[in-house]
Amino acid sequence: MCGILGIIHREPATHAPPSGCALSRLAHRGPDGSGAFADAHAQLGHTRLSIIDLSDSGRQPMTSADDRYVVTYNGEIYNYLELRAELEALGEHFVSHSDTEVLLVAYKIWGRACVERFRGMFAFCLWDRKTRTAFLARDRCGERPLFYVRDRDRLTFASELKALVPLLATRPVLDPAAVDMYLHYQYVPEPHTLLRGVRKLPAAHTLVVGPDHWLGEPLRYWSVEDHREIDVPRAPRDILAAVREGIEDAVKMTLRSDVPVGVALSGGIDSGIIASFAQKHSAEPMHAFCVGYPGRPAYDERAQARELAEGLGMIVNEVELPVADFVDFFPRLVRILDEPIGDPAAFGHYSVPKAAADRGIKVLLSGIGGDELFWGYGWVNQAAAVNQMLSKQPSLAALARWGAHPKVRGFLGRTAQAGALPEPVRHWAGLVHDLSLTAGPADQLRFYMGAPEFRDALLLKGAVIGPALADLNPNNAFAPTAIGPRGHDAVPAAMIRLLFDTWLVSNCLTLGDRVSMSVGVETRLPFLDVRLIELVMALRAQTPDHRLGQKAWLRAALKGVLPDEVLARPKAGFRPPVREWLSGVVVRYGGALRNGRLAAEGLLDRKKLSHLLDVMAQKDWAGLFIAYKLVLLELWIGEVATNPVALDMAS
C-alpha cells in the first residue's frame, strides 16, 4: 500500500519532480520511502509502504526496462505470481520480485485491458512517454482511492484530498449539492466530492489523458451487476461448496506478503471465516485484534472473538475504547478521514489497525464486504422484494406515493395492526405502508428510502438547512442511485450494484483506507476478491438467494468450518456506545457550528442551529445524528481552510 500523486501537463515545459513537501503529505501512507519522476509533460510522486519485495527493486515511480513506461501505483495485485509466469512464457523478463513490475509488463503486453486480468486492489497512473498519454485506473470495488482535478492546462491527481488540494492553483469551493448528499448518506457518494471540480475516479473505471486526448472521460471496465457467464452448479450442496471454496481461495490469495499479516476479528461470521481460513493457511500463529468497551457491556464482542481466536490457535490482542477517548480524539479523527464520513464506527475501525501497527503488523485482513455480497442488511433485501413486486404490479407505485404522506402512513400502520379487521384489509394496508417507506423518484428503483438514516435526513433536514440547500432539486439526494429501471429477474443484481457503488465504496472502503493508512497498515478484504464476487453473482443469477434471509448461503456454506454458535449469532455489526460518543462530540464541538462556514455560506440557517443543538440533538437519535454529521462537516471545513495551497509541486 502506498500514496501516489502527480500532474499531467497539456503543454510541454521543464518541470521539477515532486518536492519532499508535496510527498510528505502522503508520508503516512508510505513511511518506508519515497520517489519522484518528471519529464516535459508528467510529474509523478510516490510514497512507499513495503509489503511485497522489500528491496530497492520495488521502489517507485518505476520505469519499464525499455524506458517507455513509468508508473506510480498504490495497491496489491494478488495474482502477480500467476501473471508473471504467463508473461515470462511470452518471453518477458523481470528484474524484481514486485507486483509493480508485473503491472508495467502487463500493460506493455495487454495495454489498457491489463486491468481486467488483475485480481486485487489498485489505483495507479501509468505514463507512456512515447504516446504522451497517462492511463489512470482504479480497482473494481474501489478499495484504493484516486482523486483528480482537470482544467484546461493540467490534470492533478492524488490518493487523498490533503495531498491534492495544496497542488491546485486555486482553492476549490464547497459544492452545495454534495453537502446535501452528505446529509443523507453520511458520506458523499463517488464520483462526487464536497469540493467543486474535484472528482474521484470511480471504482472499476479507467481514464486516459494526454496532450492529444485531453477531454477523455472515465470508462467503466467492470460491474458487479454484469456477471460473467461461467459454469456454476445448481444443486444446493454444490452451491454451498462453491461458495466455501471461493472464500477460502480468496483468503489464500490475500495472505501473500513479505511482512506479517494479522486479522481484524469480531464475534461475527464475516471476520470469523476470514480468521479461520487465514490461520489454516498460515505456518505460524497469527495475531487477531478485537475491540471492546469499559465494563464489557452486552455489545462488547471481545469474549466471543477471544474464544474463536484461541480455538484457532491465534494470538489475541484486545483494544478498549473509553467514551472520553473518542471525544478527545475527534478533531484528529476528522483529519485522518480526509473527507467527512459520519459513520460512528470510525474510531473503532481506527483503533484496530493502530493496535496492529503497535505490534509490528503491516497487513490486516478484514471481513468488510461480506454484508454487501451476501445480503447482510435487511433493508436491502426489502428493497429487492419491493422492486420485484413493482415490476410485476406497477400500479402499486401510485398507491405507495399516496401512502408516503405521514398521516396516511400512520393510518395504514394502525390498520395493518388492527386485529378486528379482516385479514385481506390488514394485508393490503401493511403492503402499501411498507411500500410507502421506500418511496422515491418515480423513474428510479427504490433503494435508500428503506434505510432509516436516509429517510430521517429527508424528513428532518428542512429544520436546519439554509437557502443554499433549499434551492436544490428536491431529488438531488437520489442522483447517486439513478441507474434506470430493471426487469424482475435483474433486480437483485441491481440492488447489489447500488450498494457497492454507494455505501460500500464511499463509506466502508474509504473509511477503512484512511484509518489503516494513517498508521501505515494495509487492510485487505478477501470478500471483495473479483473471482469470489463473480462466482456468487453467477450462482444467484441461476439460483436467487435474496428471499432466503440474511446471509443464508454464507451461514450454510460455513457449517462445520465455524462453530454453530457463531453461525447462529444474529448480525450485530460494529456497535460502539454510539449515543454517548456522538453526544459528547456535539456538546464539546457544537459551538463551531453556530458561527461557522456552513452558516456563513447559507448552507445552514443560523437561527435554527440553536434548536438543532439544544433540542433536536437531545430529543432522539435522528436529531443527534444530523447534529453530529454537521459538526463533523464544520470541523472538516476548518481543516481544508487551513491547508496551504501551493502553486506547483516543486514549491
Reported confidence tier of residue 619, pLDDT bands at 50, 70, 90: confident
434-455: pLDDT as tens digits = 777 667 788 899 899 888 889 8
Is pLDDT at 645 greater than 80 in this prediction?
no
User: How confident is the prediction for the chain on average, in pLDDT?
Assistant: 92
Specify the pairing of strand 133-138 against strand 147-150: unpaired
226-254: pLDDT as tens digits = 877 888 999 999 999 999 999 999 999 99
Do residues 598 and 604 make contact, with C-beta atoms less than 8 angstroms apart? yes
State which amino acid sits at residue 509.
L
**Chain centroid, CA 252 distance in Å:** 22
In this prediction, residue 304 carries a pLDDT of 92
Q: CB within 8 A of 89, min separation 6: which ones? A: none
Reported confidence tier of residue 574, pLDDT bands at 50, 70, 90: low
Q: Mean per-residue pLDDT for 520-538?
A: 98
168-219: pLDDT as tens digits = 989 899 999 999 999 999 999 999 999 999 999 999 999 999 999 999 999 9
Supply the DSSP string of 62-127, one letter for each residue: EE-TTS-EEEEEEEEETTHHHHHHHHHHTT---SS--HHHHHHHHHHHHGGGGGGG--EEEEEEEE
In this prediction, residue 413 carries a pLDDT of 85
Reported confidence tier of residue 648, pLDDT bands at 50, 70, 90: very low
Residue carrying the nine cell digits 493540467: 154
398 or 354: whose pLDDT is higher?
Answer: 354
Is pLDDT at 609 greater than 90 in this prediction?
yes
State which amino acid sits at residue 501.
D
Round to whole Å and give the CA distance between 583 and 580.
Answer: 5
Round to whole Å and give the CA distance between 175 and 185.
Answer: 15
Is pLDDT at 501 greater than 70 in this prediction?
yes
Supply the DSSP string of 330-374, one letter for each residue: HHHHHHHHSS----TTHHHHHHHHHHHHHTT--EEE--TTHHHHT
Q: Mean per-residue pLDDT for 477-498?
A: 96
Q: Mean per-residue pLDDT for 134-145?
A: 98
Residue carrying the nine cell digits 458487479: 224
In this prediction, residue 633 carries a pLDDT of 97
Known active-site residue 290: no
In this prediction, residue 289 carries a pLDDT of 97
Is pLDDT at 499 greater than 70 in this prediction?
yes
Cell of 316: 489475541
Do residues 211 and 129 make contact, with C-beta atoms less than 8 angstroms apart? no
Reported confidence tier of residue 342, pLDDT bands at 50, 70, 90: very high
Cell of 211: 496532450
Do residues 136 and 157 make contact, with C-beta atoms less than 8 angstroms apart? yes
Is pLDDT at 83 greater than 60 in this prediction?
yes
Is pLDDT at 323 greater than 70 in this prediction?
yes
381 phi/psi in degrees, rounded to 5: -60, -45
Q: Mean per-residue pLDDT for 338-345?
A: 94
Active-site entry in 2, 114, 125, 508: 2
Q: Mean per-residue pLDDT for 300-318?
A: 94
Do residues 562 and 272 make contact, with C-beta atoms less than 8 angstroms apart? yes
In this prediction, residue 572 carries a pLDDT of 63
Range from 20-29, 374-383, 448-457, 535-544 carrying the lowest mean pLDDT = 448-457
Domain 2-146+201-220, CATH class in plain words = alpha beta
Please provide the CATH number assigned to the domain covering 236-373+534-568. 3.40.50.620
219 phi/psi in degrees, rounded to 5: -120, 130
**In the chain, where does the domain assigned CATH 3.40.50.620 lie?**
236-373+534-568
Is pLDDT at 644 greater than 50 in this prediction?
no
Q: Mean per-residue pLDDT for 88-92?
A: 98
Share of the chain above pLDDT 90, in %: 78
455-487: pLDDT as tens digits = 889 888 989 999 999 999 989 999 999 999 999
In this prediction, residue 650 carries a pLDDT of 32
Q: Mean per-residue pLDDT for 79-101?
A: 97
State which amino acid sits at residue 123.
A
Is pLDDT at 642 greater than 70 in this prediction?
no
Cell of 267: 464475534
Share of the chain above pLDDT 70, in %: 97
Range from 326-335, 354-363, 458-467 carrying the lowest mean pLDDT = 458-467
Residue carrying the nine cell digits 483529519: 335
Supply the DSSP string of 490-542, one letter for each residue: GHHHHHHHHHIIIIIIIIIIHHHHHHHHTTT-EEE-GGG-HHHHHHHHHHHHH
Residue 170 has what DSSP assignment? S
Sign of CA dihedral 69, 73, 78, 81: positive
CA nearest neighbour of 503 among 326, 345, 327: 345
In this prediction, residue 151 carries a pLDDT of 95
Cell of 173: 469551493
**In the chain, where does the domain assigned CATH 3.60.20.10 lie?**
2-146+201-220
543 phi/psi in degrees, rounded to 5: -135, 85
**Helix segments in 369-504, DSSP class H:** 370-373, 378-392, 396-403, 406-416, 423-436, 452-460, 467-470, 491-499
**pTM across the whole model:** 0.94
